[in-house]
């Protein structure tokens, strides 16, 4: 039984060493790869950012189109041909060439431009929202990867501590000061610690690969794990729970501006346009020519445009109601995120402070006492287990706080000024 455990211990230890060498050995000694670097890299390669920029370009092109005036038309007409009697053939033909210039009335062109301007402003705002979403996504992946690297450090420490405990148990057994069961129990603890190290390293590698895939390039150094411990001096970030000036409310305002512009455009469409222009008529029978002038205007009998105006106004009312709903939802989301961030800050400050210090001190005393024969092995294992759990809890608390703060920053991100 003892030989089987020893063989398993050796195998798992070899795997752990191999995995540990695969992890950031290639980037050891390099300067930390910061969150800002990751966000900048992702912003330049994210498909969502490219799509948002293409949308802005399309909106600007639509603005150019909206400002164009309608094209004139040229009409050619031949009358009095292929008939009977004197109108047989083309001898009595009357040929007319005329040009008609559309004249837009009711402010249609300015209304189209207003709609295009509102849609361009909305496209610019969508681009800013996309950048804010990219930052949040990258931040969350960075937190996950940094926390995973912290867990690897903890797992390595626990593997080393378990190895020291196994060596100490072996010495005690050889000296006749302890039962062989203690050595076997210590070896099992070492096997479990090495297996946990392998698992943790693989999770860290997966988290790092996800982050690199998201930013579109490999990272040339270890992550800035110390960034996780940047906690507020007080209890949580002090951000007033107001939706004013945020991206979400600005998006609602942009939708309302588009709806108002569409109402104006619908009203302008109720005024009929004119088509007017000169023409030239040639009479083949006498070989004479004459000038003509035509004016054309549709009669709005069947479609007066009232239904289109009513539709546009109803859609504007819908957008106004949605804006009020958005304001309420954002206020609530900001308040909830602020509470979560504040609570997470308290938990993190406690986890990396008094709780961690007490667990470290208890483990230190247990190691000394075990070496001196004052404490039993179960006391040592319990103290080490508590320390490991406390360290992992501290990492989870730090990650939770950074995630909550990132969510709060996304919700309270200010809208860009007009023209930017």
Alpha carbon separation from 265 to 213, 262, 367, 374 (Å, rounded): 45, 5, 80, 88
Helix (H, G, I), strand (E, B) or coil at 33: strand
Read off the pTM.
0.80
Tokens matching residue 146: 């940094």
Return d(Cα 361, Cα 392) in angstroms, integer.
16
Q: What is the DSSP letter of 246?
A: B
pLDDT above 60: residue 18: no
Give the per-residue pLDDT at 317. Answer: 97
Give the per-residue pLDDT at 307. Answer: 94
Average pLDDT over residues 105-117: 94
Return d(Cα 98, Cα 328) in angstroms, integer.
60
pLDDT in tens, 343-357: 888 888 888 888 888
Does the 35-68+108-227+240-270+306-412 domain belong in CATH 3.60.10.10? Answer: no
More confident residue, 112 or 79: 112
Give the model's confidence band at 311: pLDDT under 50 very low, under 70 low, under 90 confident, else very high. very high
Q: Which residue has the tokens 């023409």?
A: 279
CB burial of 12-51 (b: ≥16 within 10 Å; e: otherwise) equals bbeebeebbeebbeebeeeebbebebbbebbbeebebbee
């Amino acid at each position: 039984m003892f030989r089987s455990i020893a063989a398993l211990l050796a195998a798992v230890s070899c795997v752990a060493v191999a995995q540990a060498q695969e992890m950031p050995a290639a980037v050891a000694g390099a300067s930390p790869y910061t969150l800002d670097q990751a966000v900048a890299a992702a912003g330049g390669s994210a498909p969502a950012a490219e799509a948002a920029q293409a949308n802005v370009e399309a909106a600007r092109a639509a603005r150019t189109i909206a400002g164009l005036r309608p094209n004139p038309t040229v009409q050619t007409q031949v009358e009095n041909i292929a008939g009977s009697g004197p109108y047989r053939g083309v001898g009595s033909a009357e040929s007319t060439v005329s040009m008609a210039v559309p004249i837009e009335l009711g402010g249609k062109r300015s209304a189209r431009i207003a709609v295009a301007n509102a849609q361009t402003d909305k496209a610019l705002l969508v681009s800013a929202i996309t950048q804010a979403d990219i930052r949040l996504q990258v931040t969350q992946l960075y937190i996950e990867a940094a926390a995973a690297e912290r867990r690897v450090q903890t797992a390595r420490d626990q593997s080393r501590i378990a190895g020291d405990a196994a060596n100490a148990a072996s010495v005690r057994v050889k000296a006749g000061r302890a039962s062989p069961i203690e050595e076997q129990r210590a070896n099992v603890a070492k096997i479990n610690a090495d297996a946990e190290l392998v698992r943790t390293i693989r999770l860290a590698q997966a988290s790092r690969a996800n982050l690199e895939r998201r930013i579109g390039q490999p990272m040339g150094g270890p992550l800035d794990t110390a960034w996780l411990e940047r906690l507020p001096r007080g209890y949580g970030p002090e951000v007033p729970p107001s939706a004013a000036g945020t991206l979400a409310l600005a998006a609602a305002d942009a939708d309302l501006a588009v709806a108002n512009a569409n109402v104006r455009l619908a009203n302008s469409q109720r005024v009929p346009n004119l088509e007017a222009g000169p023409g030239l008529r040639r009479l083949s029978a006498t070989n004479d020519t004459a000038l003509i002038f035509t004016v054309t205007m549709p009669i709005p009998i069947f479609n007066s445009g009232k239904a289109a105006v009513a539709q546009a106004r109803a859609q504007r009312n819908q957008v106004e109601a949605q804006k009020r709903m958005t304001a309420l939802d954002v206020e609530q989301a900001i308040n909830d995120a602020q509470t979560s961030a504040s609570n997470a800050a308290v938990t993190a400050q406690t986890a990396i402070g008094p709780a961690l210090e007490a667990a470290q001190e208890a483990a230190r005393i247990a190691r000394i006492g075990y070496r001196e024969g004052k404490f039993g092995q179960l006391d040592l294992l319990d103290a080490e287990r508590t320390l490991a759990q406390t360290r992992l809890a501290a990492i989870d608390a730090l990650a939770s706080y950074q995630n909550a703060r990132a969510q709060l920053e996304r919700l309270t991100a200010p809208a860009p000024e007009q023209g930017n």
